[in-house]
A and B are shown apart, each in its own frame.
Chain A
Amino acid sequence: MLLSLNSFLVLGALLFCIGLFGALSKRNAVSVLMGIEIMLNAVNITLVAFSSAFQKSAHGARLTGQIFAVFIITVAAAEASVALATIIAVYRRRNSVDVTDINLMKW
């Protein structure tokens, strides 16, 4: 029973929480982004596991979960490029990428 849907979901939950810890607890902005990438990967694993578990249906293969995973990968790539450009722009102005120093919009 190791290859049931639940073991993949538990794996996704573990990865998501590790990524959440990384995104919440890091000072370096690039590191925060790496945590977010791990979280997106965990969600992708969950979606693909659901898609694979419910693949057999009356109309052939059900692949909606895998389509969603493709869209998540697309948006993650766009997000990574814009976020890293922002980090480099911030570094150029302030000579630091410490997210605890960047508090201009905090009240």
Chain B
Amino acid sequence: MDLASIVFLVFAAILVGSALAVVTLRNIVHAALFLVLVFGAAAGIYILLNAEFIAIVQILVYAGAVTILILFSIMLTQNPNSRSSNPLNRQALIAAGIAALLCAGIIFALSQNGAIAGSASQAVTANVGNAVNIGTLLYSPTTYSYVLPFEIATLVLLVAIVGAIVIGREEE
């Protein structure tokens, strides 16, 4: 077993374990802190897949911004007279059944499909430095690029900023 496989196993174990902790812990602040671990281990998986730009964006946006936002809203919405801050509802058993069924279905479908699995045996190659290629593919005005979806994404972010301010402000 080479080093990359061991690294993959470690990151996968951290990912699944801390995701299970997020959905099972009774204290919601602990769950939110385990969410940071999920995001960090996912960034490690991206680096393992030669996607270092996505990994850095993941750390910046998810582990930085989204986690802080979630922790802030947990602090602003704590209810002191509830026993547990993160209870399960009545459909928890059905939800577990649905999730287990879906997982089994996806893994069964993957095991049935040999064509994709065969053509991708070299999942990890040695070339690094794909930020330039991503930038060209995202912004370039002359070659084939995703510049129009990028502009639409900026519009989505603007609408989200204005919407969050309008929804979240105090009413007089």
Do A and B pair up? The answer is yes
Cα distance, A71 to B156, chains bound together (Å): 11
- The interface residues of chain A, by DSSP majority, are classed as helix
Interface size on A, residues (CB 8 A): 77
Nearest B residue (CB) for A64:
B137
Partner of B86, one of A28, A71, A89: A28
Interface flags for A1-33 (1: CB within 8 Å of B; 0: not) read: 111111111110111111111101111111101
Partner of A2, one of B9, B39, B74: B9
Cα distance, A40 to B76, chains bound together (Å): 25
- The interface residues of chain B, by DSSP majority, are classed as helix
Nearest A residue (CB) for B58:
A73
Q: B70 and A25: CB pair below 8 A? A: no
- Chain B interface residue number, banded: 35 or more
Cα distance, A22 to B89, chains bound together (Å): 11
Q: A9 and B110: CB pair below 8 A? A: yes
Interface flags for A72-101 (1: CB within 8 Å of B; 0: not) read: 011111111110111111011001110110
Supposing A21-B99, A95-B79 touch, asked if A45 and B42 sit within 8 A by C-beta, the answer is: yes
Docked complex: A33-86 residues within 8 A CB-CB of B:
33-35, 37-38, 41, 44-45, 48-49, 51-56, 60-61, 63-64, 66-67, 69-71, 73-82, 84-86
Nearest B residue (CB) for A76:
B66
Q: A18 and B86: CB pair below 8 A? A: no
B125 within 8 A of A: yes
Cα distance, A29 to B73, chains bound together (Å): 10
Q: A87 and B88: CB pair below 8 A? A: no
